[in-house]
Amino acid sequence: MYPRVIIHRDKYHHNVEKIATLCAQHGITISVVTKVFCAEQPLIDVLNVCDVSYVADSRIANLQKMHTHLPRMLLRIPSMHEAETVVKVADISLNSEIETIRRLNDAAAKERVRHKIVLMMDVGDLREGLFFKDDVENTVQAILSLSHIELYGLGTNLTCYGGVIPDQESLGRLGDMVVMLKQKYQLELKMVSGGNSSHLYLLQEGQHPPFINHLRIGEAIVLGRETAYGKPMPDLYQDVFVLESDLIELKKKPSIPMGKIGMNAFGKTPQFEDYGLMDRGILAIGKQDVDYHELIPEDPTIRLIGSSSDHLIIDLTHAKASYKVGDILRFRLTYGSVLSLMTSRYVRKVYV
Ligand SMILES: Cc1ncc(COP(=O)(O)O)c(C=O)c1O
C-alpha cells in the first residue's frame, strides 16, 4: 500500500495545455519529455489528447512501450549499436556523431524509411553536441550525402550539465549556425529546437529569439516551474506528483547513537549532533527509493534526519500535529525525487 506516489492526471493535463499554449503564442511547438515518469501509460494517455507535436524520451525502451499516435523523439544521442532499433522506434532522434548517423542511414535504408535527425550543437553547457564551427560544416556536408537521413533541424540543450542559462549570447551561437547553413547550403531547417524547461523564462520575459521554433519540455510540466531560476510558473500546478509514506515506528530516543561508532550500511562513518531526547519516527521508504534530501514535507514542522536502504528517520519533536504509528506523511517532490520514486518498483503509483 505505502509508500505511494499520487499522480494527478488532471493537473498534468492542465500543465501540458498551459505550456503548449504559451509556446504556441511564440510560434513554438513542443515535444513533451516523459522520462521522469518512465513514460507510464496513464500520462501518455493524457498526452494523446493534448495538442503537442512529439513525445520525447531518452530511453528507447520507453519509446518502444508507449501506446501513442504521436510521433516519437529520441532525446539521448543514440548508441551506434542500437541504430537498427532507433529507426524502427523513433520518428526523429537527436544526434551529434557522424559515424552513428551513418549507421542510422544504413539501418533506415534496410527499413526503407527516411530517418529524421536533429543535429545537436553544444553552445556551452558541455554535454552533447558539436562545438566547433568546422565540425558543424563537415558533419552537415557528410549528412547531406546520406540517402536515408533527413537533416530535419538543429538543436541545443542547456542547463542540464553545466547549468548554463539560455540567453541571447548562448542561443546566438545556435542562431549563427542556422544562418551559416542557410547561406552555405541553402538549407531550410524545419526545426530549430532551442532547449528545455530552462528556456521558458525567455518567453515570460519577452526575450525569446524568434528563430527557435521548438522546445523539449519535461520538468516545467511535471513540477510547474521554469528551470533557469527555479521559479514556479503562474497558473501551473506544482503538486502533480505527491509522495505518501507511512510511519512504522515512533519512539522517544536520544539523538546520538550509543557505543563505539564504526561504518554505517554505506561504508561511511556518520556524525551526529546532540539535541537531547527526540521524538523519532521511521517511514517505510529508503535510499533504494529516493534521496531524502529531495523530499519536501507538507508539514514544515517535521525534520528529515537520515536514511538507510529501506528506512527514513524523521524528527517529530517539534511537530505541530500529534502523530502516531500508521499515520501517512505527505511530501512535495523535486525533479530528482520524481525520477527515482517513479523508477523504484517498491513504490506504488496511484493515478487519480
Ligand atoms: C536533450 C534533452 N532535452 C530536453 C530535456 C527536458 O528537460 P526538462 O525536463 O528540463 O524540460 C532533457 C532532459 O530530460 C534532455 O535530455
pLDDT tens-digit readout, 265-275: 888 888 888 88
CATH number assigned to the domain with residue range 9-223, chosen from the 4 options 2.40.50.100, 3.20.20.10, 3.40.1390.10, 3.40.50.450: 3.20.20.10
Q: Residue 213: in which H helix or E strand, if any?
A: none
Counting beta carbons within 10 angstroms of the beta carbon of residue 112, is it exposed (0 to 12), middle (13 to 18) or buried (19 or more)? Answer: exposed
**How does DSSP classify residue 77?**
P
Q: State if residue 344 touches ligand 1 by the CB under 6 angstroms criterion.
A: no
Pinpoint the residues of the chain covered by CATH 3.20.20.10: 9-223
What number of CA atoms fall less than 13 Å from residue 251's CA on the CB side? 6
219 CA → ligand 1 middle, Å: 8
pLDDT value, residue 268: 82
The whole-model pTM stands at 0.95
Q: What is the 3-state secondary structure (H, E, C) of 165-189?
A: CCCHHHHHHHHHHHHHHHHHHCCCC
Strand partners, 258: none
299 CA → ligand 1 middle, Å: 31
33 CA → ligand 1 middle, Å: 7
Q: Which three cell numbers stand for residue 56?
A: 520525447
pLDDT value, residue 252: 97
Write down the residue that cell numbers 510560434 correspond to: 27
pLDDT value, residue 351: 98
Q: State if residue 4 touches ligand 1 by the CB under 6 angstroms criterion.
A: no
Q: State if residue 55 touches ligand 1 by the CB under 6 angstroms criterion.
A: no
Q: State if residue 219 touches ligand 1 by the CB under 6 angstroms criterion.
A: yes
Atom of ligand 1 nearest to the CA of 219: 9
Q: Which three cell numbers stand for residue 35?
A: 522520462
Which residues of the chain register pLDDT less than 50?
Answer: none
pLDDT value, residue 132: 93
Q: Which CATH class is domain 241-351?
A: mainly beta
159 CA → ligand 1 middle, Å: 9
Atom of ligand 1 nearest to the CA of 198: 10
pLDDT value, residue 264: 83
Catalytic residue check, 260: no
Pinpoint the residues of the chain covered by CATH 2.40.37.10: 241-351
pLDDT value, residue 15: 98
